[in-house]
Amino acid sequence: MTGTLLLLAAIGYGVAALAYLGLSGLVVASWRQRPQGRLLVLATGLSAAWGALSALTAWGLLPPRLELAAEVARNGAWLALLLYILRLRLPPRATLPAPLRVIRALAGVLVIGLLLASVTPFFAPTQPVLTQRAGNLGLVLLTVMGLVLVEQVYRSTRPEDRWAIKFLCLGLGGLFVYDFYL
């Protein structure tokens, strides 16, 4: 990329990091008593770390694999939050429906696998092309699972309560659609 594009990328990622950091502060100040607040702080904190690492990677100060690890951790935290919200919507002692249990298990395996794959180049510099393609496929699957979970959260919310969840669904839906497109 040219110098101007790298500068714009670094500025954009830096602004995203600051925005997520501010959101983390707001969540800590107002949601710390709620159980989902901890997951929300984790997700926004990892999103801020992802933005900061991406900005440093755009400047060429860090290797791209750290940015990938931060992106996978960020997506994993958002998926965990969405699954937790879906779990809250169930009656007491009920289990998640089978398709959501499959998504939960597959998401866990993908997040752990992609985190391991993102740090292995530091130990084994040469990486087969198949491994790179599998990593790209894993990232696409994570974003698709995120979109499915956002839709499920919105659908499982009572119509009179959807106003309270719409901004979370719009924001996460936008994040996952952008990741899918990218």
At residue 179, what is the residue type? Answer: D
* pLDDT confidence bin for 127, thresholds 50/70/90: low
Cα three-residue angle 160-168-149, rounded to 5 degrees: 90
Average pLDDT over residues 112-135: 71
Given a cut of 90, whether residue 59 has pLDDT beyond it is no
Cβ contact 139:114 at 8 Å? yes
Three-state DSSP at 123 gives coil
Alpha-carbon distances of 88 from 77, 85, 94, rounded to whole Å: 17, 5, 10
Given a cut of 60, whether residue 1 has pLDDT beyond it is no
Given a cut of 90, whether residue 141 has pLDDT beyond it is yes
Give 33's DSSP letter: T
Q: So what's the pLDDT on residue 69?
A: 87
Q: How many Cβ atoms are within 10 Å of 166's Cβ, its own excluded?
A: 13
59 — phi, psi (to 5°)? -75, -15
pLDDT tens-digit readout, 97-106 = 888 999 999 9
Among 34, 73, 77, 32, residue whose Cα is nearest residue 52 = 73
Helix ranges (H only) for 89-128 are: 98-119
148 — phi, psi (to 5°)? -65, -45
Query: Phi-psi region for residue 93, left (φ > 0), alpha (ψ -120 to 50) or beta?
Result: left
**Can you give the pTM of this predicted structure?**
0.89
Average pLDDT over residues 127-144: 77
Burial class (CB in 10 A: 0-12, 13-18, 19+), 40: buried
